[in-house]
A and B are shown apart, each in its own frame.
Chain A
């Protein structure tokens, strides 16, 4: 086999390898949502975040608009802080927008759902969402249910 064919074959091999990496990165992983880093961040505090994790989706009306970037616990107010990054094109949420932690399906993963309010001012980077609803914890609901039944 002459040198030229050899070089050609090896070149094709390396190109195929890089193309495969590219394909995996583009179509089978979340590379596209990395653009979200350019979005603006808002914070919200919850009594209980349930099974929410960093990188969990943030959605409004069922459409994914951002993701959770950081979760912390505030010792002063004994509350959980959730920092979210919202994609820049969704930049007109009123400041009285409420956030709730919801579950997709009965046993699915948890996400933050935003419900727009009616004010004229919009959320900006660093804003804090004050109206929040914590995650539903199944054990507590069952416990309350049993307790109320016991009272009857």
Chain B
């Protein structure tokens, strides 16, 4: 009995140490990626190619999701506000929640699921098929050539995708509020303009999604590069990207919101 408890404690301790070791490895990896960004910029073609697969190919989901989130936000806030005779504030609700929360967060979650997992799978597959080792032996640094462009593309694409998400969401909200529920179009825009701050709301939302971009891309490329080079290890790494990525987004969202809006 005592022995089992000792064993359990030992296992717990080892798991904790492993976790910290992983975090350390991931941090060193991030430093290495960052230090290789400069060398990568000499080849903009690599970045453009990655922007395509990370950004353009995620666009459809973002647009569809943004449209429907905006529409449902308008509907819900209409039902809540009409009781107080404040239905003209629907646009304020829609725009504020999109800019501050839903835009950055949902975009990042979708990004982790679509682009993040694809990044992990791609890099992991290159590791499994010894392509990364092969590059090293050809005196080509795979971090500079493979990892850095993918990381940077993720960081650039995220705020752009979030902006598109929010803009489409506002249009979706407009469709429901003005075309469907018959609110006044002028009131819709003027209420939003009166109550939404450029720096505090739009600016902070963009900073949020930039942070999410860094973190999700970091997790995705690290999990791929660090995966166990078997088909099973690859599957686990892809799952970890989505799980850790999503959790990191939600936790960071709270922290950033508290820092930015909680005065």
Return the contact of B202 from the options A7, A13, A25 (Cβ within 8 A): A25
In the complex, A19→B168 CA distance in Å? 11
Please tell me if the beta carbons of B198 and A30 are within 8 angstroms of each other in the complex. Answer: yes
- Smallest CB–CB gap between B30 and chain A, Å? 25
Interface string of A3-41 (1 = CB under 8 A from B): 100110110111011111101110111111110000000
Please tell me if the beta carbons of B196 and A29 are within 8 angstroms of each other in the complex. Answer: yes
In the complex, A20→B63 CA distance in Å? 11
The B43-76 residues at the A interface (CB cut-off 8 A) are: 45, 48-49, 51-52, 55-56, 59
- Smallest CB–CB gap between A30 and chain B, Å? 5
Please tell me if the beta carbons of B163 and A24 are within 8 angstroms of each other in the complex. Answer: yes
Please tell me if the beta carbons of A34 and B167 are within 8 angstroms of each other in the complex. Answer: no
Is chain A's interface secondary structure helix, strand, loop, or mixed overall? helix
User: How many A residues touch the partner, as a band?
Assistant: 20 to 34
Interface string of A37-74 (1 = CB under 8 A from B): 00000000000000000010100000000000000000
- Smallest CB–CB gap between A40 and chain B, Å? 22
The count of chain B contact residues (Cβ–Cβ below 8 Å) is 32
Please tell me if the beta carbons of B192 and A29 are within 8 angstroms of each other in the complex. Answer: yes
Interface string of B164-177 (1 = CB under 8 A from A): 10111010000000
Residue B206 lies at the interface, judged by CB distance under 8 Å to chain A? yes
In the complex, A31→B52 CA distance in Å? 31
Given the known interface contacts A13-B59, A20-B166, the answer about A30 and B52 at a Cβ–Cβ threshold of 8 Å is: no
Please tell me if the beta carbons of B198 and A17 are within 8 angstroms of each other in the complex. Answer: no
Given the known interface contacts A10-B56, A13-B56, A28-B95, the answer about A20 and B193 at a Cβ–Cβ threshold of 8 Å is: no
Residue of chain A at shortest CB distance from B47? A10
Residues of A within 8 A of B168 (CB): 20
- Smallest CB–CB gap between B230 and chain A, Å? 31
Residue B223 lies at the interface, judged by CB distance under 8 Å to chain A? no
- Smallest CB–CB gap between B103 and chain A, Å? 9
Please tell me if the beta carbons of B161 and A17 are within 8 angstroms of each other in the complex. Answer: yes
In the complex, A34→B206 CA distance in Å? 19
Please tell me if the beta carbons of A20 and B167 are within 8 angstroms of each other in the complex. Answer: yes
Residues of B within 8 A of A55 (CB): 197
In the complex, A27→B168 CA distance in Å? 13
In the complex, A55→B201 CA distance in Å? 14
Return the contact of B55 from the options A13, A18, A19, A33 (Cβ within 8 A): A13
Return the contact of B51 from the options A10, A20, A33 (Cβ within 8 A): A10
Residues of A within 8 A of B244 (CB): none
Residue B110 lies at the interface, judged by CB distance under 8 Å to chain A? no
Interface string of A100-143 (1 = CB under 8 A from B): 00000000000000000000000000000000000000000000
Residues of B within 8 A of A20 (CB): 160, 163-164, 166-168
- Smallest CB–CB gap between B189 and chain A, Å? 6
Given the known interface contacts A10-B56, A17-B159, A29-B192, the answer about A24 and B48 at a Cβ–Cβ threshold of 8 Å is: no
- Smallest CB–CB gap between B172 and chain A, Å? 13
Please tell me if the beta carbons of A34 and B159 are within 8 angstroms of each other in the complex. Answer: no
Residue B83 lies at the interface, judged by CB distance under 8 Å to chain A? no
Residue of chain B at shortest CB distance from A9? B56
Q: List 18 A-B contacts (CB under 8 A).
A: A3-B45, A6-B49, A6-B52, A9-B56, A10-B52, A13-B55, A13-B59, A14-B51, A16-B59, A18-B160, A24-B99, A25-B198, A27-B189, A28-B196, A29-B196, A30-B194, A30-B196, A55-B197
Chain A residues proximal to chain B, CB less than 8 Å: 3, 6-7, 9-10, 12-14, 16-21, 23-25, 27-34, 55, 57
